[in-house]
Every structure is written in C-alpha cells, then in structure tokens.
Amino acid sequence: MADQKKMVDAITSRDVDFAKWYTDIVKKAQLADYSSVRGCMVLRPYGYAIWENIQKLLDGKFKATGHENVGMPMFIPESLLQKEKDHVEGFAPEVAWVTHGGSEKLNERLCVRPTSETLFCEHYRNIISSYRDLPKLYNQWCSVVRWEKTTRPFLRTTEFWWQEGHTIHETAEEAVEETLQMLEIYADVLENHLAIPVLKGRKTEKEKFAGARDTYSVEAMMHDGKALQSGTSHYFGDDFAKAFDITFQGRDNTQQYPHQTSWGMSTRVIGAIIMTHGDDNGLKLPPDVAPIQIVVVPVAQHKEGVLEAAKEVTDRLKKNWRIKLDDSDNSAGWKYAEYEMKGVPLRLELGPRDIEEGQCVLVRRDNRQKYFVKLDQLETEIPKILEEYRQAIFQIAYDNRANKTYTATNMEELAAHAEDGYIKAMWCGALDCEMAIKDQLGVTSRCIPFEQEQIGETCVCCGKPAKEMVVWGKAY
C-alpha cells in the first residue's frame, strides 16, 4: 500500500485547496494538458474517451427525437455576424478575428465562430420557402472559440468542444416545445447517466443568451457549493428570421416568419463530473461514460494460471462492458491507486485462491466495498453493482446540494450564505435589484426554477412585492 499512498499524496486535498485539487486531477488522471496557445487545452485520449461516451449518449437521444447532424463553416463574415444586433453585441468581447489570408489582408474580417446561429440563418434562408420545408431539426458537433480572460481546463477555455443544436419551426408553439424538450434531454443525461442532480429553470433577462427571447438552463452544484451551468436551451421566436429575412409560405398562402431555437452542451460537463464526484483519490466516473468500466487486476500474476484466467475473464466480459486487463509488472497497490485516480467504477481482482474457489473479488471505486462473486455469476452481478454505485454517487451529490441550499428573506440573510451554496430568495424582477445583489454580494441569479416556492412576499433586495423565486449563488 506504500505505492498507493505515495500516489494519493500527490493530489492536493479538495478541502485544502479545491482549485488546486481540480487541476491535479485533470493532469494526473491524464484528462487534458495545457498547450502553447493561451487558454487552449490538449484533450488527451482518456479525457477524449469520456467526451466520446457523452457524445454517444446525447447523439442517440437527439436522433431518437428526429434531429440530424450537419457541419457548418468555422468562419463567419463580419457582415453576416452584424445582422443580428443583440447577438453580435453579446459576443463582441469574446470574438477572435481573422484579418489575413496568407500574406494578403482580407477585404472583410472573418470571425472564428463563437456559436453558429448566423450561419444556420443564412443556410435556412437558402433552403426554406414553404411550410412543407419545416421543421429543420439540426445539430452540429464542433469546437468554437471565445476569447476568455481567465481560463481553466474544461470549465472555461478559449476553444472548447460541444454540440450546438439549431432548429427552425412553423409555429411559436412548436419552437417552445422543442426548447423545453431539449432541456429535458440534458437533464436526463446529467441525472440518469452522469449521476449529477440538476436544477431546471429559466434565466433572468440579464443572464439569458444574446439574441434569445428565453433561455433555460440546467444548473449543477459542485462539491464546493458553486454552481456550474451544464446545458442551455434558447427560444429565439422570429427575431433572427426577421433579421435575416427568412420567410416561408404558410398554409394560408401568406408569407410568414419561422421560429427558431438553439441549445448546447460542452466538454464543460467533464469538469462537472470531476467536481461533483471526485475525491482525494482522484476521479469517480459514472459507469455510462467511463472509458474503462471494469479493470481486471491479476493478483500474484507470476503464479501459474493466473494471467490465463484473467485473460479469459476479460475476453468474456468485454462483450458487455468496456474492460481493461492490467497485466503490467507494476505492483498491485500501484494498480489500485492508478485506476482509482482514473475513476474506474469497478475493479476485478483475481488471484490463485480465487481461481481455486471459482470466484473473484469486485471492488467499488466509491467506497471500496468488496463483493465475492462466483465467476459464472459475473454477468448477473456486475450490472447490479454498477447500478448501486451510480445511485450512491448520485445520492452523495444530491445530499451535498440539499445541505448547501439555504433560504433568505433579506440582504443580511443572503449575505450570510453568499459563499456557501445556493440561496433561494424572492425577487421583484427589477434589473437594479439583480445588479445590486451581484455587486454587493458577488452572487448571480442561477435560474428561476420551474418548481417555484413561496419564500416570502417581498423582494430580498428592495422589499417591494416579489414576482418569483430565484436561486442565487456563485458560479464557475
């Protein structure tokens, strides 16, 4: 166990320095590395494999609801970007510009896409003429660039990978239904596959996406009590259509403007997995997205028949799970620490005595609970154990959120918990109050939850009659 302790000691404790703990895990679990371009990261194979598994989950759900994948250009002409005033003003500080092609100065600057609404609008205008052409349910997998001032791997980087859905509809009702449907898909993936409980709601006018009429988000609480916006879905109405002159002939033969949505989830959710589930031994990966769901560690592998038996079990189980046999000459203790660091949900230990008894030992990553399982019962028992593990890490995250959620009826109570987690408080709806809360206490409105509670009758800031409950907090 000395090797294991040495490896674990290399991680800063999350209760001592949460930011350093996070960076240690990103580096030591080999998820990402820094590049020579400020704010850009190298997504290493293990980190990319997690993203691939998230992609597969999302992509399957998108296609099951009728969406198709497309590819749009990386560059946006400045004139095209300028067509939607609110949108361009919202992204102006973050835009990266291309001014030269080779040694020649371009006649028009090109924006490196921060998001692709304008490109989709240009395309829609070319392909839509009748209500029969609607809806268009599109999704794109790509990277985008936003010139961030401060960066941290996965959480906020200059370039990041994501999916961006863009749809266009005949009616406002269809577009709103689409917007909320995609938010539910994000919530489903986060809660049921990534084991991260989320808060669903609508963003305030100040916090909504540039150019949107309504923005909805799923907010996750990290171990330290800060929020992480983990997915957003936007309803645009017909504002973009009017700006880009997109019209179609309606069922009554009149020219009408279609209604649009967009929605996205990015590699930022890998940061959410780290900060929601990780501990001082490293990652704890949800089984559905773990690149390795089971690691097989032969015990006393130099003894006759051990490696052969381990290979046989591995070959058998790989039909159902992502599994790895570590037959390297590293010590068993080193292997235990290595795969705990990488967050592998289940470890299968197999030694000479196990082979004699026709069994193995399964060890859960979260609590190191051991299960002595007959080899011929693995296909039956492994799914149960993995599901117990998923439910357990979800419950820990859920309890953490419950324990760090407070209520406030005035600014003093809001201030008392500004550093601690979520604070539920009533709000009058005025921007002045929202800005005062942010400026004085450093917390922002995370969302207006769909599930409203009556904390009081008056605004937490000004004391005037309240309109709705808002969840406030600090965020990444």
pLDDT, tens digit, 9 for 90 and up, residues 1-34: 444 445 545 799 999 999 999 999 999 999 999 9
* Domain at 294-401: CATH architecture: 3-Layer(aba) Sandwich (3.40)
For the domain bounded by 405-473, which CATH number is listed?
A: 3.30.110.30
Looking at the chain, the whole-number percentage of residues with pLDDT higher than 90 is 92
> What pLDDT is attached to residue 9?
56
pLDDT, tens digit, 9 for 90 and up, residues 29-38: 999 999 999 8
What fold, for 13-277? BirA Bifunctional Protein; domain 2 (3.30.930)
pLDDT by position in tens, the chain (length 476): 444 445 545 799 999 999 999 999 999 999 999 999 988 999 999 999 999 999 999 999 999 999 999 999 999 999 998 887 777 787 778 899 999 999 999 999 999 999 999 999 999 999 999 999 999 999 999 999 999 888 899 999 999 999 999 999 999 999 999 999 999 999 999 999 999 999 999 999 999 999 999 999 999 999 999 999 999 999 999 999 999 999 999 999 999 999 999 999 999 999 999 999 999 999 999 999 999 999 999 999 889 999 999 999 999 999 999 999 999 999 999 999 999 999 999 999 999 999 999 999 999 999 999 999 999 999 999 999 999 999 999 999 999 999 999 999 999 999 999 999 999 999 999 999 999 999 999 999 999 999 999 999 999 999 999 999 999 999 99
Buried b (16+ CB within 10 A) or exposed e, 155-188: bbbbbbbbbbbbbbbbeeebbbebbbebbebbbe
The domains of the chain are located at 13-277, 294-401, 405-473
